[in-house]
Structure 1
């Protein structure tokens, strides 16, 4: 699709502005969601992960190199006294070597020191995503003040730094919580996957070191929003599909939350989860439940990367809360870690393209790196002079936020051409993947890894800048439309900031959007 056709289609559109819908569940303002698709259900036999982080903060792409650390190295983890459940930062030992990984970073969660991450993928194809998962109120109430331990971002980052398999990632989380504790705003899950399987790990508030993990198989689809685990066996030690803290069943019995003689199965959500959410797969929060997202994803099987991108950008679940979008393929036939491939949208993917990046990329264009727009403390501090050139560049996150806000002003007319353009741009990128990756592997086989890195960096960076140019064209076309057709509508209120409601791209909250 050519840009002039997009412009002309906007200028031909007519009709009144339809007000943007709003979600009213305040927890969604700072949450996340995740997709898992087992390898038996994907087009190329890879395990696939997708999802988004839902934070107010701006987000930016980082590729973190492998590093060696001295024997006495430590890292700072935990939360501060400003967190919802006040805490103290602690130092824990660093390992001798940490792996290379790619992540989206952000800055703003009260009492959680930046930079933060929901996860990403490392050089061993271990991918992790963080998803909020509230614990029952009694656990929140018994959490020590100040609390100490690793928080969700610490755990996601350390899994990427240290894990060679998804199961090892689970074990690392369990060991860290046992040794140092878990610091939280109420509870979290981590979805961890490798080319063979996935695991959901649920860590609970309470200061009791409680956690449980469920294995996801080759024919499973799982969507977490919120994260959760349902029924589990009570004989966890003898079941290879589950892992848990040693006290997991016993503590529930001790508190009177579970009666082993009662004949009922042990449902983790019912025993330890927020008691107002009886079914974490249908919590009544988004316009599309996790169970419905799972069904829509399974119906696409065999699922391709383009299919999962479509699911991740579904306007029933993606809105202004969504800080970025991500899709990762974990392939058992991958011959070199430099070719690990991640698709990232720089802000909510309902109105932003997924750009391709490889772990062999050596640097990210400044336009996709950190900027002050929506970054913590930007309104009360001045710019560090070292960042002046980066800050002077355009910021992809801000550009595609503009596209979102314009498109959401009249979603029935403006979102379809935006979606068409994004999908067409991604299809062009996908058409190039074969020659880019074959060329990089040829260079590596010839002993010229540096040239392979240059190729991957050149292609990914230039393609990302082409996406940004497209975004600016889209924003200008949408600007012309809103000036000439429906006319501008000035705000009526006096408060520009809010947690609830937030902008989304469904007219009047109508969930009747084609799948």
Structure 2
């Protein structure tokens, strides 16, 4: 995940200490227009991102997989081998290429053929746990756990149990604390894995009337006697460990609160109102709940909000988890870079091929600046990279957001509205073909439409970049760089964004929604390494 350091400024907009990014949204089926669980989010990593489909696979009885982190991680570790299962499920994931000491490729968002969706989100542990982490550490890191859930879990609950068993047996390799959102057609779960090498983890169930936004992940009040609970799971020593170290007093009469016992401690830290970026978790949750009954279009709007979607948002994702759905018809929407500047595109698990323009490229890939191209990738690299194309849209648009952001947003939404209008007949046709036993034809229909929209999106991106480039230059609005350093200054440097109308003297949860203004506001905040 992206390593960030934020500085709290007067109004507590930011936080101090190391944090790690990515958003996750959960909306229970009681609050959605179609009566289904919905999951959304974005990844916040510097490195290249690409869409990839992983086929189901059978494995030899003695097969193993490599997990963990290397000595280059912020908390150095040692890779280990653990057994692979006999069969792994098909899944689709947004992959990325780099987090220091975490072997690529990495994942932090996807859905599998059993309708289980997973997202990674940072969730800091208290400093004492961070300092307690062994050197070298061993165990499964956040991407290992997410990928294994996608490969093995038939339900969200089973995904939590898999994570718990793996941590109990092998431990977790940490960068400071992490969480996962796991969801299926019935429910969601937040799993919080704590730093320290103590095999500590906790999980809370989310129901049909819940909305949860993780940024970072959090769990609050937790039952002391959770064994056998339908709504909570955790490591066997979760309560005793906190009591032994004085992080929770059983005699106090106060509830056992996971955030207060194990989360980052400080005057400006709360579970839901840490003031991260320009919207707290509480504000994001309330804004999402206010949309009920929530549609996919609504959740796309939340994920694309310029108060959270900026240069750090490396893609956008929305998925609805329908019951009793043929695996080939499981649909996921992905934006190839931050959705503030890119359209959400439909894809289905029944698709066999991702267009090369949306696959892996050298742009922002680890080691690209110090090595030449592997000939095996020559045609792949010759293709246009959608992620880079829509990054150009972001940079043009954010150069004058009051002028360009409303126009670009309208175009992105109009493009998505066309896709949303087509989905009904595309999926009706695929269902009819499946009913007739013509699975190959159904898959071909889905792939044809997904590829057509992906190609149309490239056309949209070219139109936007050409138009914005021409207007900026013809109108005399071009501004060359004033410095010589093309990369930012590292932790704490500014991030390109399209915010307007933001008041730096007000805390995040009191901010108005973005609106056109002559004043351009640049987020002086966490920048990626």
Structure 1 residue 303: deviation in Å?
0.3
Structure 1 residue 502: deviation in Å?
0.9
Alignment match of 1:312 (pick from 303, 306, 322): 303
Deviations 1:418-441 (A, max 9, x none): 000000000000111111111111
Alignment match of 2:448 (pick from 458, 461, 469): 458
Separation (CA, whole Å) in 2 of partners of 1:162 and 1:486: 56
Q: Which residue of 2 aligns with 1:292?
A: 283
Q: Which residue of 1 aligns with 2:512?
A: 512
Q: Which residue of 2 aligns with 1:150?
A: 140
Deviations 1:468-513 (A, max 9, x none): 1101100111111211235211112221112421111113745533
Separation (CA, whole Å) in 2 of partners of 1:190 and 1:331: 21
Q: Which residue of 2 aligns with 1:341?
A: 331
Q: Which residue of 2 aligns with 1:391?
A: 381
Contact kept? 2:27, 2:39, Cα under 8 Å? yes
Using a 3 Å threshold, how does the CA distance of structure 1 residues 238 and 179 change in structure 2: closer, same or farther?
closer
Q: Please state if 1:279 is matched with 2:247.
A: no
Separation (CA, whole Å) in 1 of partners of 2:471 and 2:193: 48
Q: Which residue of 1 aligns with 2:59?
A: 69
Deviations 1:71-128 (A, max 9, x none): 0000000000000000000000000000000000001100000000002100010001
Q: Which residue of 2 aligns with 1:497?
A: 487
Using a 3 Å threshold, how does the CA distance of structure 1 residues 26 and 475 change in structure 2: closer, same or farther?
farther
Q: Please state if 1:401 is matched with 2:397.
A: no
Partner SS state of residue 403, structure 1: helix
TM-score, structure 2 length as denominator? 0.91
Separation (CA, whole Å) in 1 of partners of 2:125 and 2:195: 6
TM-score, structure 1 length as denominator? 0.93
Unaligned 5+ segments in structure 2 are: 1-12, 504-510, 516-529
The count of residues paired between Structure 1 and Structure 2 equals 492
TM alignment of 1:239-250, pairs within 5 A: 239-250=229-240
Structure 1 residue 237: deviation in Å?
1.4
Unaligned 5+ segments in structure 1 are: 1-22
Q: Which residue of 1 aligns with 2:347?
A: 357
Query: Is 286-295 or 191-200 further displaced after alignment?
Result: 286-295
Separation (CA, whole Å) in 1 of partners of 2:162 and 2:14: 36
Separation (CA, whole Å) in 1 of partners of 2:280 and 2:124: 17
Query: Is 298-307 or 279-288 further displaced after alignment?
Result: 279-288
Q: Please state if 1:424 is matched with 2:417.
A: no
Q: Which residue of 2 aligns with 1:200?
A: 190
Alignment match of 2:403 (pick from 413, 423, 426): 413
* Deviant stretches of 4+, over 4 Å: 23-30, 508-511
Q: Please state if 1:302 is matched with 2:276.
A: no
